[in-house]
Amino acid sequence: TFERLEEAPLVVVKRSGERQPFDRAKVVAGLVAAAKARPVEPAVLDELVIGLEDDFRLTGPEVTTADVGRA
């Protein structure tokens, strides 16, 4: 097992200006939909999203929906 330090919450800023907590499950669901007809293992998608979340945290406590979509 491994432990992760408790991290400051990551906030997603929508185009409307609304702020919501980052939800890893929503990003995974989007990737699953995008890769629907492709042979991609769910574990690979989970690891990808974990890496993206870590990258977003390096840039600051807030990320825009456009940045999430591009990533």
Residue 9: is its pLDDT beyond 70? yes
Q: Which of 27, 1, 11, 9 is nearest to 63 (CA)?
A: 11
Q: What's the gap between Cα 30 and its chain centre?
A: 10
pTM flag (> 0.85): no
Residue 71: is its pLDDT beyond 70? yes
Instruction: Dump pLDDT digits (tens) for 18-63.
Output: 999 999 999 999 999 999 889 999 899 999 999 999 999 888 899 9
pLDDT of residue 2: 59
pLDDT of residue 16: 95
Residues 6+ apart with CB under 8 A from 22: 9, 10, 11, 12, 53, 56, 63
